Amino acid sequence: MEGQNPILNSIKRGLKRPLWASLLFLFTVILLSGLQINKEYSIFSIPLGFMSGRVGFISGSQRSCADFFKQVPARKVVKSITDFGGIGDGKTSNTDAFQRAMEFMARFTDTGGSQLVVPKGRWLTGSFNLTSNFTLFLQHDAVILGSQDPKEWPIINALPSYGRGRERPGGRHISLIHGNGLTNVVITGENGTIDGQGKMWWELWWNRTLVHTRGHLVELINSQNILIQNLTFLNSPFWTIHPIYCRNIVIRNMTILSPLDTPNTDGIDPDSSLNVCIEDCYIESGDDLIAVKSGWDQYGMKMARPSTNIIVRRVKGTTPTCSGVGIGSEMSGGVSNVIIEDLYVKDSAAGVRIKTDIGRGGYIANITINNMRMERVKVPIRFSRGANDHPDERWDPKALPKVRGIHISNVVSLDSKRPPLLEGIEEAPFEEIHMKNISLFGLDPSMTWNCKFISGSSCSVFPTPCSQLLKNESNFQCPN
Ligand SMILES: *[C@@H]1O[C@H](CO)[C@@H](O)[C@H](O)[C@H]1NC(C)=O
Ligand SMILES: *[C@@H]1O[C@H](CO)[C@@H](O)[C@H](O)[C@H]1NC(C)=O
Ligand SMILES: *[C@@H]1O[C@H](CO)[C@@H](O)[C@H](O)[C@H]1NC(C)=O
Ligand SMILES: *[C@@H]1O[C@H](CO)[C@@H](O)[C@H](O)[C@H]1NC(C)=O
Ligand SMILES: *[C@@H]1O[C@H](CO)[C@@H](O)[C@H](O)[C@H]1NC(C)=O
Ligand SMILES: *[C@@H]1O[C@H](CO)[C@@H](O)[C@H](O)[C@H]1NC(C)=O
Ligand SMILES: *[C@@H]1O[C@H](CO)[C@@H](O)[C@H](O)[C@H]1NC(C)=O
Ligand SMILES: *[C@@H]1O[C@H](CO)[C@@H](O)[C@H](O)[C@H]1NC(C)=O
Ligand SMILES: *[C@@H]1O[C@H](CO)[C@@H](O)[C@H](O)[C@H]1NC(C)=O
């Protein structure tokens, strides 16, 4: 397998080479692989200078997302949804109003940009597409409500890195708010709300009558320089915010809520995207608060579009059956250079979870998790195989994921139920798992860490970790 994965090999070689050389090589490989993919999702428009200018910047000391989003000038044209006949009574459909508004706004993408204001009221609508150089602004007490008619969430093509809908074969429902190939978009306001009214979709899932994969609340495909800030997103049918094949995305100061028992209502899922910064968000949901992904099995491997340079900072929340931050399980295009810091997770199943499986291929490399606090989290740190779910029978049982370089430090967990479970894959053990200054309280003294097919080191870890992490204690220096 090793010889077949140029990106992983470049990372591995990079560990021995000067940093600039490895980064240059890595990004060249990414750029070249980007050129080979489906034109609809290509990154032809990205100048190399822009890319290399933004490579070396990621650092734990950087305290804001500012470098990831280039400020946009004030929009020349500002209109209200009421200018397009919108009625905010919670009952009248505004699908036409929003679609007409967006057609109008699209005229100004290259002549100064535009802003659509949604005032106080309850604005029921089906799906609509955003445009470039555009701001969607939800005033205080403005609520956009997702249509309850599935036909207002029309079917679009499956994503090439998934090969099919994630839940059902074939196409998938479009997101409520959608964008493809956009630049310079801001979705913001005065804590206005976008409510997907997902109950209908969750019921279709629960009662097994869902025909096509559910839509996201907001999905952006192949887009760049996007800011989502100062809003509340509720009741997404499926993953709430899904940037895929994107670069330079900032998601900040958001409240994202779904009932705690709802299926697959992930908060934010950066997927095959470069330079994503998520900070100061509060998320409650029925699935992972944040899940970093990069495509599914052979489809994700073929597209080979990684998620790289991802920062998750000051995120808080609850998810009773899933994890604070998950990496995977779809990670076949690779996930690298992820920094997660100042994470607070309460009343949840796991704090940090790495999920992968045989058939996924790809890699998870260079992940740093620093300063995490947990309360009543069942398994604070969990690495495990997934549910053995594959897009179709053509998945390759020889496609093993590589997991290497996971640094976890400064963690406190109160009222933990079970010790960490760190389970690699026999044919592809997880390597360079480093733990430093970890205190997990509340565990029965008879419980021991559960490790299999992993190697690494540890320092100042309570309770005593598994033997696999004790062998190389000196490799991971404790301060002083
Ligand atoms: C967006 O506006 C900028 C100027 O602010 C302009 O350079 C760019 O071409 C516009 N983008 C599109 C897609 O029209
Ligand atoms: C939105 O864009 C998608 C393609 O990304 C297209 O299939 C759909 O028809 C568009 N919807 C509207 C309302 O224009
Ligand atoms: C966060 O958003 C709220 C509105 O949702 C706003 O009142 C507050 O000032 C914002 N905070 C920051 C730090 O941007
Ligand atoms: C925004 O509204 C949500 C939902 O009503 C609320 O939970 C949150 O605290 C508000 N945020 C701010 C900063 O006021
Ligand atoms: C499944 O849920 C949908 C949405 O609530 C509902 O319309 C449908 O009647 C339900 N089907 C069954 C078989 O319960
Ligand atoms: C979010 O709210 C803060 C505080 O009010 C404000 O400074 C910032 O400009 C807002 N962001 C956007 C994108 O509107
Ligand atoms: C690993 O990640 C850190 C922080 O994200 C970054 O500074 C470093 O360059 C990365 N190393 C490699 C080999 O990519
Ligand atoms: C260990 O981690 C805790 C929790 O983040 C932190 O408060 C403490 O300062 C850390 N200790 C050292 C020696 O870094
Ligand atoms: C311990 O470190 C040595 C040298 O760095 C390495 O060769 C070996 O594989 C490591 N063992 C484990 C169990 O991590």
| Residue-by-residue DSSP string for 177-231 | EEEES-EEEEEEESS-EEE--THHHHHHHHTT---SBPPPSEEEES-EEEEEES-
Q: Spell out the residues 6+ positions from residue 46 whose beta carbon is closer than 8 angstroms to its own.
A: 31, 34, 224, 247
CB 421 within 8 A of CB 465: no
Q: What is the pLDDT of residues 150-165, one digit of tens each?
A: 999 999 999 999 999 9
**Closest ligand 7 atom to Cα of 26:** 14
Nearest-CA residue for ligand 6 atom 2 is: 230
Q: How many residues does the chain have?
A: 480
CA angle 431, 432, 434 (to 5 degrees): 135
Q: Ligand 9 pocket, 455 CB below 6 A?
A: yes
Q: Is the pLDDT of residue 37 over 90?
A: no
For residue 70, the CA-to-ligand 6 centroid distance in Å is 15
Q: What is the pLDDT of residues 152-198, one digit of tens each?
A: 999 999 999 999 999 999 999 999 999 999 999 999 999 999 999 99
Tell which one of 58, 59, 61 to mutate to probe ligand 7, the residue whose CB is within 8 A of the most ligand atoms.
Answer: 58
Q: Is the pLDDT of residue 458 over 70?
A: yes
For residue 140, the CA-to-ligand 6 centroid distance in Å is 13
Report the alpha-carbon distance of residue 264 to residue 272 in Å, rounded. 19
Q: Is the pLDDT of residue 364 over 90?
A: yes
Residue 66, pLDDT score: 82
Q: Pull the structure tokens for residue 109.
A: 């993408």
Tell which one of 137, 143, 191 to mutate to probe ligand 3, the residue whose CB is within 8 A of the most ligand atoms.
Answer: 191
Nearest ligand, CA 141: 4
Residue 388, pLDDT score: 87
Q: Spell out the residues 6+ positions from residue 57 whose beta carbon is closer than 8 angstroms to its own.
A: 67
Report the alpha-carbon distance of residue 247 to residue 54 in Å, rounded. 11
Ligand 2 cavity residues, CB under 6 Å: 99, 128-129, 156, 178, 180
Q: What is the pLDDT of residues 293-315, one digit of tens each?
A: 999 999 999 999 999 999 999 99
Q: Is the pLDDT of residue 208 over 90?
A: yes
Q: Ligand 9 pocket, 473 CB below 6 A?
A: no
For residue 276, the CA-to-ligand 8 centroid distance in Å is 27
- Give residue 357's identity as a one-letter amino acid code: D
Instruction: State how far the alpha carbon of 55 is from the alpha carbons of 26, 58, 294, in Å.
Output: 10, 7, 19
Neighbours of 109 (CB within 10 A): 16
Report the alpha-carbon distance of residue 262 to residue 466 in Å, rounded. 35
Q: Ligand 8 pocket, 371 CB below 6 A?
A: yes
Strand bridging mode 172-173 / 155-156: antiparallel
Nearest-CA residue for ligand 8 atom 6 is: 410
Tell me which H or E stretch contains 105. Answer: helix 95-105
Mean model confidence pLDDT for the chain? 89
Residue 477, pLDDT score: 58
CB 75 within 8 A of CB 135: yes
Active site residue 297: no
CA angle 231, 51, 2 (to 5 degrees): 105
Q: How confident is the model at residue 54 (pLDDT cuts 50, 70, 90)?
A: very low
Higher pLDDT, 31 or 316: 316
Nearest-CA residue for ligand 5 atom 3 is: 204
Nearest to 239 by CA among 260, 220, 216, 258: 216
- Give residue 360's identity as a one-letter amino acid code: R
Q: pLDDT exceeding 70 applies to what percent of the chain?
A: 85
> Counting Cβ atoms within 10 Å, is residue 236 exposed (0-12), middle (13-18) or buried (19+)?
buried
Terminal-residue alpha carbon distance, the chain: 40
Report the alpha-carbon distance of residue 322 to residue 266 in Å, rounded. 9
The alpha-carbon radius of gyration of the chain (Å, integer) is: 22
For residue 149, the CA-to-ligand 8 centroid distance in Å is 51
Q: Is the pLDDT of residue 2 over 80?
A: no
**Closest ligand 5 atom to Cα of 204:** 2
Q: How confident is the model at residue 23 (pLDDT cuts 50, 70, 90)?
A: very low
Q: Is the pLDDT of residue 97 over 60?
A: yes
What mean pLDDT do residues 86-110 have? 98
CB 244 within 8 A of CB 267: no
Q: Ligand 9 pocket, 472 CB below 6 A?
A: yes
Q: Say which of 271, 287, 288, 297 is annotated catalytic.
A: 287
Report the alpha-carbon distance of residue 362 to residue 379 in Å, rounded. 25
Q: Ligand 4 pocket, 80 CB below 6 A?
A: no
Nearest to 279 by CA among 325, 353, 352, 342: 342
Report the alpha-carbon distance of residue 335 to residue 363 in Å, rounded. 6
H helix runs in 280-424, sequence order: 297-303
Report the range of poorest mean pLDDT among 20-34, 68-82, 291-305. Answer: 20-34
Residue 478, pLDDT score: 65
